[in-house]
Amino acid sequence: MIIRIMGEGQLKVEDSAVDELNKLDSALELAVEQNDEAAFGPALHALLEKARAVGTAVPVDAIEPSELILPREGATIDEVRDLLADGGLIPG
C-alpha cells in the first residue's frame, strides 16, 4: 500500500510490513491521547524510521492517494492533534 510521510513524499510499503507500523502507530496514538510529550517524540520518530526502512519511494510523477498518512518528522503533539481534529488547519 502507499503511505505518505508528510513533508517527505510517498512510499510503497508491502502489506506484510504494515503490522509493525500499526504497532508503532498505536504507541503514538496513546502518547497523543495521554498528552505525553516525553513519549510522543520518540514514538513519532520510531514510526517514521520504520516506515522509511520498509518503504520504497513512489515515483514523483505518480498521483495516487495514500492509505496511511504519517505526520512530519519533528511535528509537535499539538500539530498532530490539529491534524486529527479536522479543523481549519489543512489549507488548500
Partner 1 sequence: MGVMKRVSTIFRAKANKQLDKLEDPRETLDYSYQTQLELLQKVRRGVADVATSRKRVELQMNQVQQTTEKLDRQARDSLAAGREDLAREALSRKAGVQSQLNDLQSQYASLQGEEEKLTAASSRLQAKVDAFRVRKETIKATYTAAEATTRINEVFTGISEEMSDVGLAIQRAEDKTEQMKARAGAIDELMASGALTDALGGPPPDDIQAELDRMGAGHSIDAELERMKAELAGGSAPKEIAGSSGQADPSVSQPGAPSFQKDQPGSGGA
Cβ atoms of 82 and 17 within 8 Å: the answer is no
One-letter amino acid of 80 = V
88 binds partner 1 (CB under 8 A): no
User: 24-53 mask for partner 1 (x: CB under 8 A)?
Assistant: -xx-xx--x--------------x------
For residue 39, CA distances in Å to 6, 42, 86 come to 20, 6, 23
Q: How far apart are CA 53 and CA 79, in angstroms?
A: 24
57 binds partner 1 (CB under 8 A): no
Residues that bind partner 1 (CB under 8 A): 3-4, 6-7, 9, 21-22, 25-26, 28-29, 32, 47, 60-72, 80, 83-84, 86, 89-92
